[in-house]
Each structure stands twice: as C-alpha cells, then as structure tokens.
Amino acid sequence: MLSIIDKKCMGMQNPVGIRPARPEFSWIIDSDMHDTVQETYQIQVRSLDGTLVWDSGSCSSGICSAVFYDGEPLRPRTCYEWTLAVTDNHGQTAVRRGDLFETGFSEGEPWTGKWISPKQEVVPDAFCDWPADKLVEHFGPVDFVGLDMGNPDGVAPAYYLRKSFGLLPKKRSSARLYITAGGIYDVSLNGKPVTDTLFNPGFTPYDKYFEYQTFDVTGLLEQENVIGVILADGWYKGRNGIGGLRNLYGKQTKLLAELHVRYEDGTTDIIATDDTWISSKGPYEYADLFVGEFYDARKDLGAWDCAGYIPKGWTAVTVLPHTDEVLKGICAPPAGVVEHIRPASVYRNDIGELILDMGQNIAGFVRATFYNQEPGAHIVFEHTEMLDERGHYMNSINPDCRELIDHYICCGKSSETYCPRFTFHGFRYVRISGLKGQVRAEDFEGLVVASRLDTTMDFQCSNPDITRLQSNIFRSQQGNFLGIPTDCPQREKAGWTGDVFVYSDTASYVQDVRMFLKRWLEMVRMEQFANGIVPVTVPYTKNYYYIQDCVFQAHTSCGWGDAIIEVPWVLYQQYGDISFLTDNYDAMKKWIGYVEKEASEGRTDDYEKMPLSQQERQPYLWNTGFHYGDWSYPSCRNEKGETDNLQSSINTREYVATALYAHSCEVFSKVAAVLSKDEDARYYRTLRDRICKAYEEEYIRPDGQFPLPIQGLYVLTLAMGLVSEEKAGLLARHLNQLILDNGGCLDTGFMSIKFLLDVLCRYGYTDTAKTLLLQEKCPSWLYEVKHDATTVWSKWNAIQPETGKVTCASYNHYSFGSVGKWMYNYILGIRNTGCGFRDFVVEPGFDYPFQWACGSYHCVYGDIRVAWARDGRERSIDLTVPVSTHALIRLKDCDTNSLSHYFKDRMKDGYVSLGSGTYHICYQTRPEM
Ligand code: BGC
C-alpha cells in the first residue's frame, strides 16, 4: 500500500502566520512494495469555504519537497487546506487531506496596532565610550574573550504590560494574536500562556526587519479578558555578544500586537497595542539574555494578567512615533524547550560548594523548587560548563566574567519554583548558594532550549567513544541552533558565518535545517554590504562591526564571507531544493565580484620588487587584507604555550584566501550551470583555472611542499582540487608525513578541519585517517571524549594535556564537530551522489576497526537506514531505501558465490543496485581477503 506519512508546509505541520507569498510543501511517502517511485503528485489548495485557489495539476515528478505554491495570490490572515494526491509506478495512489496552513499579514500591509513602550529607565549606551585601544589590549592573541564583562551594569528590568478588554456577547469563531517586540516578549491571555515557544520574536537584524508570531487563542478568550506581556531586553537592547555591549538596536524595549477576534456573524474585533495599555515594573530586577535574571519573588504581581486584578501603581505606556519597520511572518520552526533532563547529581564538594551536575553540557536553564526558605533569602545560580581540576566552581568562559548568573529572592512560601524565561546559559554545572535545608536532585530539572528542528541522524558503532563523539556533535548543534546558527551558547551567541561555512553539511545530516538555514541566509543577504562584503557575523551587530573595524580594519574574511556561496550549495545538494540557488544567486555573484576586485586590485608591499612573471599572477592571488585564515590551528602557540589565534591567521591567511577564492569560483560556476547561466558558469570556471595556476606557481615548490609545514594548507589545496593530480599525489604524501611527524595528531584549524579525513581517504591514506579518528592524545576528538566532554570544544587543549588544568574556553562550539559528515559518509557509509539523495551510495565502513555500525539519515524522501556488521569473513548489511530513491551498495571484496541470487543479479562492478525497500544482504569476503 502507498501512504503519505508526513506532510509539511514551510517545514512545519499546520503552520499559522506564515508569509503569504509562496508557501512551500513537502511530504514523505511510504510503500510496502519494493522499487516504488512516485510518478505523479498533485496539490490542491482551498480556502476553508471550499474555493479552489491552486491546483498544481498532475505533475509527473518524483520530487516530494520544495514544491512552491503557484496559484492566485493568497489572502492575508487566511487559513487554507491543502490536499496531496500521489501515484506510483505500481499503479497505487494515496491521498491526504485536512492539512492546513494559515497566512499572516502581507508584507507592507499596515497594522492597526502601534508600537508601545513601557515607562522605563533609559540605560545609556556603553558603546560610544568603549575605547578601541582597550579592545586591542584585551583582545590579546589567546582567544576571543568577553570584554568589559566585569559587572552586570546597564541591565534593565523586564516590564509588565497589560490590556483588559471585554468582548461582545456574540459567538466567536476564531481568534488570533499577532505579536512582535523590540526585546523578548512572554505573552499570556487571562493568566494562561499563549504559547510554549520561547525567546520570541527571535533574533533578526532588527534594523532590517522584525519577525512576528501568530497564535491561535480561540480557546483562551472569555467575556472579560486581559492580555499580559512581560517584555525583556533580549538581543534588541540587552548586553550582547562579544564585549557585552547594550542598546544595539534601540534604547527602549517596545511591543506591537493585535488580537483579531472573529465572530460567527462575519464581523471582527481588533484589540491592538495603543495608549490604553498600561505597564509596571514587577519582580524582575533585571532579565538579560547574556547576563542572567534577577527575580525578586516578594515583588510578585499576583494575578496581574487576569480580569479583576486592580493595577495599582501601573502607568500608561508611551505610544512611539510611527516608524516603518518591516514585519515578516514566520518561515521556520520556532524555538522552545526541546528536552527535560534530570540532573546527574547534586552534592557538596570538598570546600562546601553546592554543585548541581546536569550530566551533560546544555544550552538552557534550570527549573528549581525550594521549600520553606526565609522571605528575602537570596539564592544564586552560577552556571559554568566546567569545574576546575579540583572539582571546584570556576567560570569557564572568562576569568573576569560575572555572567550566566541567575538570582532569586524568596518570598517565603512553603514551596516556590523558579525557572528563567528571558535568558539561557551554556552550562553543565551550577553552583547554588543561599539555599537552606535539605537539597534533593529531584527538585531540579534542566530545560534544554533550541529551535525545534527534527533530528535526522542516528549513528552508533561498536566503538562507544565514537558513538559518544556523535552525540557530542548532536548536542553542540542543538545548543547552538536557536533561531540562528551561533558559535557558542555561553560567550557570544553570535551568527559567525565561518562556523556555518565549515559546519553546514554536517548540520544538514544531524537535523532538518532546511528552513532554519534558509531563514538565516535571508538575513545574510540583508546584511551583505552594497559592495558585496558578507560580514563575519549575521546578524552583524554594532559590537562586531566595531571590533572588526578597530582590530582588523575588515568586516569580512575569506571563508566567513564565502559562506554565502558554500552554504546554499551544500544545502541544495543535501535537500535538492533549487531555491537555495535562485534565492542567493545575486548575493553570491556580488560576493565573488567583491573578492575578484580585491584580489585583482590589491597589491602586496613587495609588488614593485617582483619579477614580471610573478607580478603577472598577482591579480589572481587574494593576498591582501585581513583574513582569519586557518584560524586556531593547534600548534600555533604564543610564548606562554597558549593557542595563538591571531598568529594562525597571519601564517595562513593569503594561502587560505586564495584557495577559497578558487573554490568559490568553482562552486559559483557550478551554481550558474545548474541555473543555466552559461556565461557566468564559463567566466568563473576560467577564472578559477587562472587562480589555480597562479596559486601553484606562487606557493607550491616543485617537490610539492608549501613554504610552511602547516597541515591545513595541504588539506585545503587537495580538498579543493587546486593542483594537477600529479602534484596532488606529492602534496598528499607530505600531508601524511606531517601528520605522522606530529605523532599521529591533526593540526588543522577552522577552515581545513572538515576536509581532513576525507582528503586522506581520497588519496589512499585511510590508515592515517583511522589514526586521527581514534587518536586519544591532544589534539584529537577522542581526547575530548576521554575527558568526559559531552559537547565539542573550541580549543582542543581546553583541558591542558600537560597539567590537566581546566582553562577558559567555549566547551560548546560545533565547528570542530564538522567531522560528523565524514563519519556518516565513511563509517555508516551513506553518501549522496545525486541531488537530495535521490541517488546515493552505501559503502559500509568495513575497513575501519569497528565490528558494526548502524543508524539512519532522514533525507527529504524518507529514512535511509543502514546496519552493518562483520565477523571474520561474514558481512551483513540491513538497509532501507526510501521510496523514489535509488541506492548502489558497495559489497567490498565480495565472494559472489556467497551472495543470494536476488543481489547477485543486481550486482555490477562491486555494487548492488537497489530501488526502494528494506533488504538484508549477507555475504562472505573472498578467502584471500
Ligand atoms: C568565535 C568563532 C569565530 C571566531 C572568528 C570566535 O570568537 O567563537 O567561532 O568564528 O571568533 O574567528
């Protein structure tokens, strides 16, 4: 039987409040018959009165995602039903009805509501008086550390806003609340939460647009009602990212909301933000996304968001002058609590500190219940990712930092529960002080917060450390994918573009990041400068702008800016969604045009002294300006023995920049070819060849060596195919030797690491790849695992191998987890060879020292499942191939006599060719193997 087992609009089930322009549809079908292919699909969209607004007609196609609405313009704030009918090659059909989507406002459509602001103390900007030399002085060569974070000044209370209103005694049919804020809002209706999503409206470049959310509140309305909103600073005006600067987008928090109540008689009432709303301070002394919260329960406002409450001391809000903010509906899954975890333990250490150990490093917060505390008792929660080597509390982020601390003042009730809502922390441990009486682990719960993305990768193998590495990668991704992809959840929470460059392919295996990264790429396009520069973080907040300007005199870098080309290309291949290319094409072209101009016009200081032949190739080398380069490669140390990030940039920048210039030209020419933009395709292909020639002549000696013995340079050159095959062989040999000389340890930085194992395998150094993967000495992935890591670290030697000292670092940084893709490709053995896994290869990692591996990848067509095992000469593979896809299974060293006819008949050149279905293949290897 053919069945439709999943159906989504914009990657969500029955989404409400999406942008009305072009909704996207996707689905998964399943069949109990082998070799099933979807032959046709048909989508019909109807408004709820039954009017047909789009009929795709029967489309002969196997695709089941990235189908875009193409009917008459959708009406704003309207619910539609969509029906899907599919047929397959066996003559089966399946139909699914009843799925809904609802549009929000049309872009640019005026709102009835006005921006309002609670009466609030205006906190002065810290920004203007922040001296550049102080920055440089603090910045140092060690790592990016939080600057000027000494004390949480300039933080502001969260304000309470309310609006009470009565409704006509008429039958209501539906009610929707449309709401956004400059800040983070938490909204309730008649004392009940309107949503379980968090950190709304989410982080966007607020100077370009705000996202608003839409909630179905039909069931919450009464005759007499109160809308209650608590409004905190958030990314909009709180202390933010590096430097902890505040007021990045505004000096005052603000709110915009409209409640539309529809009646059965066809009329609508709108209750909107205006001068009738009132506001008050409440129990939050402050509520800052980065610093933490200070909640005084004695100041609890009681039933402030319910009818009948007397708002004593509340004041009128200010209606802000009209401005033209762009407002957009949602287009990706929201953020919220994604997991509840019980602490591993709560105990007093040898110096009497009360330590709560969550058992894993998370992004989120703790819900705590206390009993019989004195009124006024001050309970402090200090979060940290690591305890020091003695098991004592330390702030693992920055020695001076006083942040990631929540305060709670008890009101003295027999039982009180505190759970933050306007902050989240990156932490595993919490030092709790001020709590009297017996403390039990069951009084605490860890709440993990993230964007609600489906997990698409399951991976296990017979080596528990490698399995653990996989779960660490997952956890680091989850801890950093909240609204935007961030570098780390504790120190910066910033959308570093280079991190996404290196990690997007692993990310797209681990979770369904299609809509999540599509949304972020839209922000990248908005933040792109007119001259094509793609900044190093997106959103590009003032603090990063300022640092980049003062410290590096540059707003971009190779690799970081190249994200605009790399990420859409990676996602197009992974998901087969061509809109990644069409949406981003112009931005890609602008970026590559910028790089071309920089490279061809920039001249190094020694240009005049160069021989003519060398001068002639200079326009093809991107050897000027600042670049992060192969940032943070581990052997680059300062005299104190600490990783010297700036030096790693200086040593590698011109090589890496030129390599990535060639790579981006190549990728862009492929993109152009896919979109039939032949002239661009040809131009950038030719340019790429010229860059490669210049690169080889300028940097690589005839014996295949770079002037500097840096692994990353070899890795990038090989990964990007910048030299002839013959030269490549030499380079690969040198790379291998560098690794052996380094005691079998990697020495790659941010840009090169993701290609390392792949390049070694490609050039026949599989044993070295195995050594690196299973290495337990520092630097290595398993060094972290052996040191009880539950996430991926930013510094390999964050726990010093020589002394065991726990140092300040980010312990939750996914970039070095980019090895994930290699694990799925080489150990589990699933490799995409088509577009969106329409065709894929399964090559089980029998060559690796594992007895078995199993797992699955949920591609856009459904679950690809693989479980393989080996025992002596016996090999077994259990496999599921989704409907509409085709797999080639590599049966390495197979003694075909041991194979059943079914597979023997489908075998060619060592590969078995299989359509959809579930299979069990077993065979023996040839005796000599
Ligand atoms: C971030 C990185 C980022 C880097 C720039 C750091 O502070 O945490 O992930 O890419 O700066 O190189």
pLDDT tens, residue by residue, 436-474: 999 999 999 999 999 999 999 999 999 999 999 999 999
* E strand segments, 104-171: 116-117, 159-166
If you measure from the C-alpha of residue 235 to the centroid of ligand 1, how many angstroms do you get, rounded to a whole number? 19
Helix then strand then coil, in percent of the chain rounded to 5, is 25, 30, 45
Closest approach atom of ligand 1 to CA 815: 9
For the stretch 373-427, pLDDT in tens is 999 999 999 999 999 999 999 988 864 445 789 999 999 999 999 999 999 999 9
Q: Is the CB of 492 under 6 A from ligand 1?
A: yes
Q: Give the max Cα distance, the chain.
A: 89
How confident is the model over 869-889, as a mean pLDDT? 98
How confident is the model over 612-622, as a mean pLDDT? 97
Of 808, 810, 790, residue with least CA distance to 341: 790
- CB neighbourhood size of 68 (10 A): 12
Q: Is the CB of 544 under 6 A from ligand 1?
A: no
What's the pLDDT at 143?
28
What's the pLDDT at 134?
45
For the stretch 189-208, pLDDT in tens is 999 999 999 999 999 999 99
If you measure from the C-alpha of residue 143 to the centroid of ligand 1, how many angstroms do you get, rounded to a whole number? 9
How confident is the model over 635-646, as a mean pLDDT? 89
Exposure of 79 by Cβ count < 10 A (0-12 exposed, 13-18 middle, 19+ buried)?
middle
Please provide residue 695's backbone torsions phi and psi, each rounded to the nearest 5 degrees.
-60, -50
If you measure from the C-alpha of residue 731 to the centroid of ligand 1, how many angstroms do you get, rounded to a whole number? 29
* 883, 37 Cβ separation under 8 angstroms: yes
User: What is the band of 136 on the pLDDT scale with cuts at 50, 70, 90?
Assistant: very low
What's the pLDDT at 153?
64
User: What is the band of 138 on the pLDDT scale with cuts at 50, 70, 90?
Assistant: very low
How confident is the model over 342-361, as a mean pLDDT? 98
If you measure from the C-alpha of residue 750 to the centroid of ligand 1, how many angstroms do you get, rounded to a whole number? 9
Q: Which helix (H) or strand (E) holds 573?
A: helix 563-575
What's the pLDDT at 127?
47
Closest approach atom of ligand 1 to CA 144: 7
Which residue puts its alpha carbon closest to atom 7 of ligand 1?
144
User: What does the mean pLDDT of the chain come to?
Assistant: 94
If you measure from the C-alpha of residue 499 to the centroid of ligand 1, how many angstroms do you get, rounded to a whole number? 7
| Residue among 492, 653, 754, 818 to mutate when testing ligand 1 (max atoms within 8 A of CB) | 492
How confident is the model over 696-707, as a mean pLDDT? 96
* 737, 714 Cβ separation under 8 angstroms: no
Q: Is the CB of 496 under 6 A from ligand 1?
A: yes
DSSP-derived 3-state class of residue 90: coil
| Residue among 144, 476, 633 to mutate when testing ligand 1 (max atoms within 8 A of CB) | 144
Exposure of 439 by Cβ count < 10 A (0-12 exposed, 13-18 middle, 19+ buried)?
middle
If you measure from the C-alpha of residue 487 to the centroid of ligand 1, how many angstroms do you get, rounded to a whole number? 7
- Residue 390 gets which letter from DSSP? T
More confident residue, 869 or 136: 869
Q: Is the CB of 144 under 6 A from ligand 1?
A: yes
Q: Which tokens is 415 given?
A: 């039982």
For the stretch 96-111, pLDDT in tens is 999 999 999 998 899 9
For the stretch 491-500, pLDDT in tens is 899 999 999 9
Per DSSP, helices labelled H in 328-377 are none
Q: Is the CB of 654 under 6 A from ligand 1?
A: no
Q: Is the CB of 418 under 6 A from ligand 1?
A: no
* 86, 40 Cβ separation under 8 angstroms: yes
Q: Is the CB of 498 under 6 A from ligand 1?
A: yes
